[in-house]
Structure 1
Amino acid sequence: MARDSVRALPWWAFRWPAAGMCVGSVDDINRYPPARAGGRHREPRSRGAQQSAEKLTYCVPVTRPASLARLCALLVVVVLGAYACFWNLAAQNVTGDEYIYVTAGWQYVHGDFAANREHPPTAKYLFGLAQLLGGQGALAPRILVGLLVLGVAAIIFFWLKREAGWWAGLASAAFWLLMPRANAGDRIDRLALLEPVMMFFAVAALFAGWRWARTGKTWMLAVSGALLGASVTSKVSTIALVPAFLLLPYLFTGLRRWRPAVRANLIWLSAFVVTAVALYLPMGMRSAIGYMLKVQDGQNVNGHDIPIAGHIYRFAPWWGNFWFLAEGIGVAALVVIVVGVALAIWLRPDKLIAYLGAALLLLIVFYTIAARIALPHYYYAWTPLLVILAGLGYARVAQRLRRPVSVSLLAVAALVALVAAVQFTVVVAQDRPTGIARVSDELRSHGVGDGPLLAVGMMPGVYVPYPALNISEDPSRGPFVAVVVGDDPRFHLDPTLKRLLKNERSRFTVITLDSLQLWVPHGLVEHGPTGFVLSS
């Protein structure tokens, strides 16, 4: 009877979060131990107890408080993660790069591969497919990126749960989901950029490679190679990770047993190459890669003007990406990460730390030495590995240091991380269209009719995503019904326009739109032989 009753209980009585117990009375709850998770009944040891167990007439699921706490914590993290990834997602402006990738993705899924050949195609394939499912525009690709961010969190959770404990996995996943990563909108991975797609596949590849090393399952090795192939064909930067995968087998076999390691390398490389070739084939592999290398080499040779720490650099200093990292995630979160990574290296530098540390070091070398330019979102490639290493570091504090020291250190780190997370959630709640995205409504509210707008003091990427504005930096497109003035120090105003705006200010209505100024003339702005003039 007892056995049949155990089998008849629903799955949730054993799986999560409770264990099942067969009892005949309330007193039997204390007499017989509960079943383990998974429904395996623990039999009483003595013969008398065995006979008593046969008399059990009904089953009661017993909920463990610790398991209930885990379930509640997991639900809180999932809800907050979904909020961070999807709430108010359409509010922020479409950026120039995002517009290029989303538009190219739409064209790719319709058979036109001419756009944006300076970057690999896989992320743009996914953006195109997302638009087929969710409608044309940036929102559907942003939702896709949000799902990939949640995917990285799931990988971090399951990876660290196995290696460092359940709570270490959950805390690290939560920090990843709620950590600020600014410099491109309110957070880099709330936009449809290439880096979030690239790093999802890269983190998944690293996890699959580690699972192969732990289990010896060859198919995991092939999956790892295929995933990195998808990462590199999303953006080429993660090609720098290849040595970490090739060195992984030797961490377990050593140099003396080189044959199994070489065999593993060949399997991994085969999956990597086959996947990369298959993903590149639709756009013409040789021509596309040749064009990409030409453009990327040109950027390295010619540089790219970018403001860093208040100065304009054509070739970024070696510390440029570290500056963007500190600026993007904030000093508080950076301190938590740096201390956690240092603890991971100091307390227990095992094979996992060596594997992840090598991967992180390769990416740092690529972005600080191999690449001579730095953009505000490049540091994103480091963040998943930094979070995983920091999570391992704090987990080992709990395992290896004395309780007063470990509790104090973990409490301070948790408090600092919580402050950073709260600040980010406020940013998400307050997100709204800014600057150029507000121009159309302002013109309409001031009764300005349709007509061309002049853009000055800004990159084309600011206004190109808004073709309906009919805005251009070309003076010959006038006369203009309004002038939109940006604050980018890399772009200087025409002297005659600057003089006109200063001397004839009373003949303009000036509207401040965040970092932009909208100058609406009482007439039209034209460009003549002597420069810009105001006509009635």
Structure 2
Amino acid sequence: MTAPPAPAPARGGAAARVLAGLAVLALGVFAFGWRLGVETSNGDELVYRDAGAAYWRGDVTPNPEHPPLAKHLVGLGGLLGDGSLTAERVPAAVCGVLVAVVLFAVTRRLAGTWTGLLAALLWCALPLAPGVVPAHVARRATLEAPLLLFTTCAVLAAQRVADRSTPGRWAVLGVAVGAATASKLTGAAVAVVALAALWTHRRSWRAALPGAVLAGAVAVAVFCATYLPHGDRFWWGLRTVVAWQLEHAGRGAVQEVAGTVSAFPPWWSAWWFQAQYLGAAGTAALWSAALLGAALVVRRRAGLPVVAALAATTAALVASPLKLPQYHDVAVPPLLVLAAVAVHALLTRPRAGAARLAGAVLVVVVLAPLATVAAGHLARVATTAPADYRVVARELPATAAPVVVWGDAEALRRLRPDLALTGAVAPDCAAAALVVDPTVANRVEGADTAAWVGACGWRLVLRADRLSVWAER
């Protein structure tokens, strides 16, 4: 008697997964690419844009305090796009879309295709906008988008090594770690995934150890290779990036956290920064879900590298004397993976009665605040328009009198090179206007808007997002 034929795979289910994947991919292209050149270029982005352009002209001296790889990518975008702001931001947008793809691959190894799509959806829909710029880091020509892409690739590579230890897989892991570190030194923290992968082979560690050594050697080689275009400044570049970062850690970085300005903010600053764009409820929900996800997968080969990545980056955030808003970005990809795994477990683990209902309620508690934040973020992307410094630059009249700027003077100077800008803090009623950016002014010693306005009798003539412009009545 012949055996009955095996059931054919459900084509409808496969088609649904493909359509859902395409929808998430399209959302990522929209979230990271829509009207990409409209938002003001300011802060670090101006520095990295200038450095990237200079690198491709053969001048490697700008911004030696950070490794060069991400700036080379920014410069390449500008080179291919005739130096336009949109072109310089395209590499970051591409990295943003690729992060979604890699997050899908990482999460699918833990909990299947639909959970992978949820992790990718969270990445594409939620804001990641630390600091003073309300734009996702994948919409800015900064170091963060390449950093997050390569750290996420390192997690995926470590999962593959955990599955099977081969020299080729260890070498790929080394490339990812080296590229992450060459984008920004904080990427070095992801090297912990190599140790996690080695731990999964602890019963045959003697056979796996040469692979881990190979990964370390490849990582160092990749990092050093990004300095080869420096030519005779190769060793200068390597020494400078390390020395500058050590000096930076020693002097701290002035930031306002919870109303207090300090060069060495408290250990919990990263969560405060994250709550500024996710909200307190969204931040608490995301981390709570991620901790549950970590507990569920930490003993699994594919789970340990993800948990290790989140643990290492979190420990670095707490221990580092520097508490800059963007530093917590590197923890976000593993955070989203583990949160998606927790949601999957709450919805699919067999339960009966009240336990099943409680799981569904917890999913709503986790996703509701995140969905609200995501909807607001995507609406802002859809309505992207000139704002802040662009609006102020457009509205300020031509004048020979100085314009006082307690904010990003360089951003305004790029837009209005005809204006004489100054950062004076003593009231000067002969000035043409006073431009105040509270995210910067709160760190300018002696800057007192009320005192200036009171002394000169000026009034508020323009408000552009967070910026205010004061001038004579």
Is TM > 0.5 for Structure 1 vs Structure 2? yes
Cα distance change on mapping 1:285 and 1:363 into 2, 3 Å:
farther
**Which protein is bigger by CA-based radius of gyration?**
1
Pair 1:64 & 2:11 matched: yes
The match for 1:132 is: 79
Q: 1:245 to 1:132 in 2, by over 3 A?
A: same
Query: How far did 1:108 drift?
Result: 0.3
Give the Å deviation of 1:68.
3.1
Report the CA distance between 1:396 and its aligned residue: 2.9
Does residue 436 of the first structure (1) align with residue 385 of the second (2)?
A: no
Match of 1:164 among 111, 116, 123: 111
Q: 1:83 to 1:93 in 2, by over 3 A?
A: same
| CA shift for structure 1 position 441 | 1.8
1:220 to 153, 165, 169: 169
- Residue 435 of structure 2 corresponds to 484
**8 Å CA contact 2:403, 2:433 repeated in 1:** yes
2:139 corresponds in structure 1 to: 190
Contact 1:123 1:197 in 2 (8 A): yes
- What is the deviation of 1:308? 0.5
Matched, 1:358 2:312: no
Match of 1:55 in 2: none
- What is the TM-score when the length of structure 1 is the normalising length? 0.78
Is the Cα–Cα contact under 8 Å of residues 393 and 412 in structure 2 kept in the other structure? Answer: no
Q: Which residue number in structure 1 is paired with residue 280 of structure 2?
A: 331
Offset of residue 300 of structure 1: 1.8
Higher relative contact order (CA 8 A, sep 6+): 2
Report the Cα offset of residue 339 of structure 1.
Answer: 2.8
* Residue aligning to 1:73: 20
| Matched ranges for 1:381-400 at <5 A | 381-400=330-349
- Return the alpha-carbon distance in structure 2 between the equivalents of residues 192 and 169 of structure 1: 27
Deviation, structure 1 residue 64: 3.1
Q: How far apart are residue 416 of structure 1 and its match?
A: 3.7
Match of 2:371 in 1: 418
Could you list the runs of 5+ residues in structure 1 that have no partner in the other structure?
A: 1-30, 37-62, 523-536
Q: CA RMSD in A?
A: 2.9
Shift of 1:198: 0.8
Q: Structure 1: which amino acid aligns with 2:139? A: R
Q: Which residue of 1 aligns with 2:180?
A: 231
Cα–Cα, structure 1 residues 33 and 240, in superposed 2: closer, same or farther, change >3 Å? closer
Task: Give the 3 Å change call, closer, same or farther, for CA 138–367 of structure 1 in structure 2.
Answer: farther
Aligned to 1:316: 265
Q: For 2:241 and 2:5, how far apart are their aligned partners in 1? A: 68
Residues 12-411 of structure 1: matches in 2 within 5 Å?
Answer: 64-183=11-130, 184-254=133-203, 257-283=204-230, 284-351=233-300, 352-369=302-319, 371-402=320-351, 404-405=356-357, 406-411=359-364
Structure 2: gaps (5+ residues): none
Aligned residue number for residue 517 of structure 1: 468
CA contact (8 A) 2:170 2:211 kept: yes
Code of the residue aligned with 2:391 in structure 1: it is R
Identity %: 26
User: What whole-Å deviation, never above 9, does each CA across 1:290-340 have from its counterpart, x for those lacking one?
Assistant: 222222222222222111111101112111112112223223432332232
Residues 32, 258 of structure 1: alpha-carbon distance in 2 compared, 3 angstrom cutoff: closer
Q: Which residue of 1 aligns with 2:403?
A: 454
Shift of the 252–464 alpha-carbon distance from structure 1 to 2, 3 Å rule, reads: farther
Q: 1:276 is paired with a residue of what secondary structure?
A: helix
How far does residue 420 in structure 1 lie from its aligned partner after superposition?
2.3
How many residues end up aligned between the 2 structures?
Answer: 457
Distance 1:422 1:434 in 2: 20
Identify if the C-alpha distance between structure 1 residues 287 and 412 changes in structure 2 by more than 3 Å, giving closer, same or farther: same
Measured after TM superposition, the shift of residue 363 of structure 1 is 1.3
Query: Partner amino acid for 1:344?
Result: G
Question: Structure 2: how far apart are the matches of 1:311 and 1:469?
Answer: 36
- Structure 2 partner of 1:505: 457
1:428 Cα deviation from its structure 2 partner = 1.3
